[in-house]
């Protein structure tokens, strides 16, 4: 009896040890798997959501629409030329309409260049999104591999194993709860990995589309700049042809003289307004603008030659002697035009003769005028300092080439600009 009892005790002791080791092993397995679950869950905090994937798809759709709109937005040069043909007999209206077309094209070029800058910034952002998504994809791939390896090395306990190893039914239910969590984690991990792979592909597509639209936008700028140059060349040829045509000669001279007279009247009106403003300032005990006698800054960033001097000259196309009230500096379109001296903008406007022009009041009856600009960067009433960029060189108005016509007026009369600046 004692031997049998002893054997029973040893048998019970062995079974208890096996149960204890089984429970310990099961705990180790669940602890390892649960840690892997927590690690993957932490990785998935930045996993793309359905909303972020939809946002990326919407972004791609918008880029495609923008790409289609680029072609539709280009200037129709042929239609512009046909419209201008109707105005050729009226040089004043022809110049005015053509300058309006040039202004529209220049505005498109400026807008396209802004789009290029914005698209370059978007490219940097999309590239960063792609790299971050690729990093998440790699991290999730490594986490899944570690999870699978740990599950394989530890062995996946079956429901029967859990039942045999459980100390109680409550313990069994707890272990089953862990098992369900692990299965849900496996499913979620796989779904998240698929989502991040989809997001990576969308980022790649968006990046390629943005590169394409950037290249096409740059091409559009080149096309519009070619359109601009072609229209300027056409304008120069047409004005020259009109003024040199013998049948138009007499009318052309009369038109030119009338336009110069109108230009002179426009400037006189501006000077009268400046003088009245000065009187009002003095009457109100204010300080009027004063010219201190300093030397002018040269009004251009660069120029190629002096195409026409100040004073009496033979008009290059009309062939008659005319007074040239300024100095013409031949320069490339877009070259910066500077304020020659401190002053206030008396006018920044357009006229068929002067084109886009700026008139600055420097005080004491002294003013400077900058004609034929392609763009104006100041408005009436602005205060400018010597050397500020106020406009860009162009060929607007009655002009047959890209240049700056620079005039100086003192007490209502034109004077030589060379008296205020060095050659």
Of 217, 207, 215, the C-alpha closest to 60 is: 207
- Spatial distance between the Cα atoms of 59 and 65, rounded to a whole number of angstroms: 10
Whole-number pLDDT of residue 8: 46
- Spatial distance between the Cα atoms of 242 and 250, rounded to a whole number of angstroms: 11
**Structure tokens that stand for 237 in this block:** 């040829």
Of 80, 87, 66, 350, the C-alpha closest to 224 is: 80
pTM: 0.59
- Spatial distance between the Cα atoms of 153 and 74, rounded to a whole number of angstroms: 65
CA distances (Å), origin 330, targets 335, 368, 402: 10, 18, 6
Q: What is the DSSP letter of 396?
A: -
Number of neighbouring beta carbons within 10 Å of residue 409:
21
Whole-number pLDDT of residue 213: 80
Helical ranges in 1-90 per DSSP H: 2-43, 50-72, 77-85
Whole-number pLDDT of residue 52: 74
The whole-number mean pLDDT for each consecutive block of 10 residues of the chain, a chain of 423 residues, reads: 45 48 45 45 54 76 72 67 64 80 83 84 83 80 72 58 60 60 64 73 80 83 82 80 65 73 85 82 73 92 92 72 89 94 93 92 94 94 93 90 94 93 73
Whole-number pLDDT of residue 303: 92
For 228-246, what is the HEC assignment? HHHHHHHHHHHHHHHHHCH
Whole-number pLDDT of residue 79: 72
Whole-number pLDDT of residue 411: 92
Whole-number pLDDT of residue 166: 58
Whole-number pLDDT of residue 7: 45
């Amino acid at each position: 009896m004692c031997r049998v009892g002893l054997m029973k005790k040893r048998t019970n002791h062995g079974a208890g040890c096996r149960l204890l080791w089984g429970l310990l092993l099961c705990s180790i397995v669940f602890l390892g798997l649960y840690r892997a679950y927590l690690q993957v869950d932490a990785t998935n905090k930045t996993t793309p959501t359905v909303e972020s994937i939809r946002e990326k798809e919407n972004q791609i759709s918008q880029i495609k629409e923008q790409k289609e709109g680029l072609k539709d937005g280009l200037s129709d040069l042929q239609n512009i030329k046909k419209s201008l043909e109707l105005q050729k007999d009226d040089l004043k209206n022809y110049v005015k309409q053509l300058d309006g077309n040039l202004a529209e094209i220049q505005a498109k070029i400026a807008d396209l260049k802004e789009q290029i800058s914005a698209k370059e910034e978007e490219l940097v952002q999309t590239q960063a999104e792609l790299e971050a998504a690729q990093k998440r994809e790699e991290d999730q791939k490594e986490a899944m591999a570690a999870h699978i390896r740990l599950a394989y090395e530890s062995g996946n306990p079956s429901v029967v194993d859990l039942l045999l190893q459980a100390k109680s039914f409550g313990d069994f239910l707890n272990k089953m709860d862990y098992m369900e969590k692990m299965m849900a984690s496996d499913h979620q991990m796989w779904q998240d990995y698929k989502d991040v792979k989809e997001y990576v592909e969308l980022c790649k597509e968006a990046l390629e589309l943005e590169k394409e639209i950037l290249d096409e936008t740059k091409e559009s700028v080149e096309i519009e700049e070619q359109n601009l140059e072609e229209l300027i060349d056409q304008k120069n040829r047409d004005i020259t042809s009109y003024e040199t045509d013998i049948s138009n000669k007499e009318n052309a001279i009369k038109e030119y003289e009338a336009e110069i007279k109108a230009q002179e009247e426009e400037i006189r009106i501006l000077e009268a307004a400046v003088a009245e403003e000065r009187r009002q300032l003095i009457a109100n005990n204010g300080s009027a603008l004063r010219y201190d006698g300093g030397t002018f800054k040269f009004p251009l960033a660069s120029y190629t030659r002096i195409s026409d001097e100040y004073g009496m000259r033979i008009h290059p196309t009309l062939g008659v002697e005319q007074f040239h009230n300024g100095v013409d500096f031949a320069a490339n379109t877009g070259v910066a035009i500077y304020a020659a001296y401190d002053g206030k903008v008396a006018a920044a406007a357009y006229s068929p003769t002067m084109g886009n022009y700026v008139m600055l009041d420097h005080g004491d009856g002294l003013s400077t005028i900058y004609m034929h600009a392609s763009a104006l960067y100041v408005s009436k009433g602005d205060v400018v300092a010597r050397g500020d960029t106020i406009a860009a060189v162009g060929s607007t108005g009655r002009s047959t080439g890209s240049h700056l016509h620079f005039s100086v007026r003192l007490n209502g009369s034109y004077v030589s600009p060379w008296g205020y600046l060095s050659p």
